[in-house]
Amino acid sequence: MNRGFGIAATAEEGRVRTVAAEVEQLGYSSIWTNDIPKADGISTAALMAQATLTLRVGIGVVPVDRRPTVEIATEIERLGLPLDRLMLGIGCGQSPKPIAAVREAVEELRELLGPDLRLGISAMGPQMCGLAGRIADFVLFNWMVPERIQWASERVNAAAAAKDPLAPPPMTLAYVRVATNPLAEERLHKEAAKYDSIPAYHRHFQAMGAPLAEVGVAADAADVHAELAPYDRVLAEGVVRALPASDSVESVLAAAQASAPTNVG
């Protein structure tokens, strides 16, 4: 089973290295971070790569309305990120022309960084899913229930097949929020509500029709794998974004342990 683990780019350097090394030992396939104005995901990914030997290192995602492609490529090269392990996700951010912005960014980054780099697209709606199917190596979904992931994957795969019926479709991944007791449902709902306040995500949640507290996993630690199973069935790789009970390294590592693929069965 392939499973990833994600931590925020706001984590301090020591925590990033500790969690990344432990995640590799726990049998995860990849480790991920985000990229936001107050925290550079490319620098965080470099720390993750330095602390691991074989894990794929993902950035999900870099918004191209805020970071030009030349800047992205220059920073990746400056920090020496291993392109054979890097999975670079691209998002539209607040671009007024999201499809065109993402398409141009993917094309430019392929030219700048070469064929070894795996480039992905963050997708929620049918048009972005179609673009991912045509030009991406992977697609990264976010805040989706398994049924919506299946819906989105079908659109990705259809676009890929229309372009080249013999080529494999993009790899499908999704961030899956995971909270364990105490107060797991409350933490999951609170995190979902933050995203629901963003217009694009509000429209997404409305279209999906699922209660906010059910978009992800809220369970006892012993039940996490059973709750993740529906996601595993519709994804090539689920990426656990833990909502730990506290910000301590111990709490984050406990969440990683509870969700670790080596603990299945």
Stated pTM of the model:
0.96
Task: Give how far Cα 59 sits from Cα of 56, 85, 91, 129, Å.
Answer: 10, 11, 11, 18
For position 262, what pLDDT does the model report? 75
Spatial neighbors of 91 by CB under 8 A, at least 6 apart, are 61, 62, 63, 64, 102, 121, 122
Maximum Cα–Cα distance for the chain, whole Å? Answer: 48
Would you say residue 265 has pLDDT above 50? no
Summarised one tens digit per residue, pLDDT across range 59-81 is 999 999 999 999 999 999 999 99
Q: What is the mean pLDDT of residues 245-255?
A: 92
Summarised one tens digit per residue, pLDDT across range 104-127 is 999 999 999 999 999 999 999 999
Would you say residue 264 has pLDDT above 80? no
Q: Which domains does the chain have, with CATH numbers?
A: 3-263 (3.20.20.30)
**Least confident among 8-12, 76-80, 260-264:** 260-264
